[in-house]
Amino acid sequence: MSLYLRGGFAALALSAIAAGADAAPCNSGPVASSQIIPGEPLSLPVALAELRRVSPAIRAAGLEARALSAEADQAGRWLNPSLSLELENFSGSGPLSGFDQTESTFAIEQTFRLGGKRTLSERAARARQALASAECAVILREAELEAALLFAELVAATQLRALSEDSADLADDLAATVERRVDAGSAAPPELARARADAAALRASVATAEANVDRLRYSLALLWGSADPIFASPKRAASQAMPAADTASLSHPALDSADAAVRARDAERDLARSVAIPDVTLSAGFRRFEETGDEAFVAGVSVPLPLFDRGRDAARAVSIRGEIASLNRAATEQRLLAQQRSAVASRRAAQTRLDILTSDALPAAEEAYEAALRGYQVGRFDLTTTLNARAVLLEAGFAVIDADLALQSEDLRLRALIGAAPFNGDIR
């Protein structure tokens, strides 16, 4: 198949690819209404839907793809013809002083781009558009993952706030127990001061946890360009079964973008090679001789001589960049495969850690604190033992929340790598 025909078919194919890749939300089309209800708990699907709807970064990338689509339309246009009017032999000296000896020529000329340059130019522009659409999909996936991770952090921060409040309540209860023992003469007054100081410190930690929740709320809302997080505390979605991850192959926007970069370099290489075929300019018109009143047709053809520059260096440069794109594509595939396998292992380890903490560490810490508190109430244990037991319980609670956050984060990273919900466009 000739380079010209191959370029024509490729332009049509790339146009279709770009149209498919330019699907919402990267098409920057009409903006749908928000699904966020003011004052209502935020869910992860709603957060991702809002991100896909109005994220400035995603919409900017989509607009760039539309701009390149317009450039591709422009690249497929024919060159404009030129009109020329020439007057010769007038306002001179002697017989040529007036217009009696004038020769006037009116002509139109058109440059024809040989070698399929017009089709190949459009193909290269369509390939750049397809690359921009693929890069928009990469930005979308990265933004979705960032939003999902922030949402998971916000859920964990809300749980930490609740745990801090419960710990402060426990500290207040313990301080009340110490006060009763001091009043009964069973404990020294310094123990009451120590218990109250400990309760005040835990109450102060509630304010810190509350501030962290607010910080994450603003950070999450900023991802879709809002400085006003109108949603309430997040609502954690029910756990979804993780689909089997095929660690031998993958499909990811980054890999699609690398493939699109290879196709774009191939299209640019074909266009650069077509420069070796010179363009031709045809002209036609008529000439009038004022001296005799005669008229005659004129025609011409001009072709640049490719003596010094045949575009070989430019074609070689594009070919080298094509090799770079192929190397990047292979590296991207290996990187994604490594990340996927690492994510599977990390998720498994996070699940094991959470299971141990929830089934062994946390129940044991709760039992130890309850025993220490009962023992302190009857005078068998001192305050230090009770405070230490409560500190271990608090540490176990924090560890469970941290382990759960780690599991959720690894789960989201793995889902983003394999394109599983909620990163498959499903916002239900």
Report yes or no on 427 lying in a domain.
no
89 plus 220 within the same structural domain = no
286 plus 271 within the same structural domain = no
Report yes or no on 426 lying in a domain.
no
232 plus 91 within the same structural domain = no
What CATH code is carried by the domain that includes residue 323? 1.20.1600.10
3-state secondary structure of 103: strand
The CA distance from 187 to 166, in Å, is: 25
Residue with tokens 């399929």: 116
267 plus 349 within the same structural domain = yes
Nearest to 195 by CA among 181, 206, 211: 181
Three-state SS string over 320-383 comes to HHHHHHHHHHHHHHHHHHHHHHHHHHHHHHHHHHHHHHHHHHHHHHHHHHHHHHHHHHCCCCCH
- Reply yes or no on whether the pLDDT at 73 is more than 90: yes
- Section 79-99 average pLDDT: 79
What CATH code is carried by the domain that includes residue 297? 2.20.200
297 plus 341 within the same structural domain = no
* Domain end among 310, 335, 364: 310
124 plus 222 within the same structural domain = yes
Residue-range definition of the domain harbouring residue 97:
79-112+277-310
* Domain end among 288, 310, 332: 310
Q: Give Cα 309 to chain centroid, integer Å.
A: 42
The CA distance from 15 to 118, in Å, is: 15
- Reply yes or no on whether the pLDDT at 246 is more than 80: no
Contacts of 415 (CB under 8 A, 6+ apart): 242, 421, 422, 423
Residues 318, 272: contact at Cβ < 8 Å? yes
- Reply yes or no on whether the pLDDT at 247 is more than 60: no
Report yes or no on 351 lying in a domain.
yes
225 plus 346 within the same structural domain = yes
Report yes or no on 378 lying in a domain.
yes
- Section 244-256 average pLDDT: 75
244 plus 320 within the same structural domain = yes
Contacts of 53 (CB under 8 A, 6+ apart): 25, 31, 32, 34, 224
330 plus 201 within the same structural domain = yes
- Reply yes or no on whether the pLDDT at 341 is more than 90: yes
Nearest to 242 by CA among 395, 355, 346: 346
Report yes or no on 428 lying in a domain.
no
Q: Give me the phi and psi of 90, to 5 degrees please.
A: -140, 155
Question: pLDDT confidence of 240, banded at 50, 70, 90?
Answer: low
- Reply yes or no on whether the pLDDT at 84 is more than 60: yes
Q: How many domains does the chain have?
A: 2
Instruction: Determine the pLDDT at residue 187.
Output: 81
84 plus 193 within the same structural domain = no
- Section 10-32 average pLDDT: 52
102 plus 187 within the same structural domain = no
Q: Which of 345-354, 380-389, 409-418 has the lowest mean pLDDT?
A: 380-389
Instruction: Determine the pLDDT at residue 243.
Output: 62
Instruction: Determine the pLDDT at residue 180.
Output: 87
The pTM of the whole model exceeds 0.85: no
* Domain end among 292, 310, 328: 310
Bridging pattern class, strands 280-289 and 103-112: antiparallel
- Reply yes or no on whether the pLDDT at 1 is more than 60: no
Quick: pLDDT tens for 267-295. 999 999 998 899 999 999 999 887 788 88
336 plus 356 within the same structural domain = yes
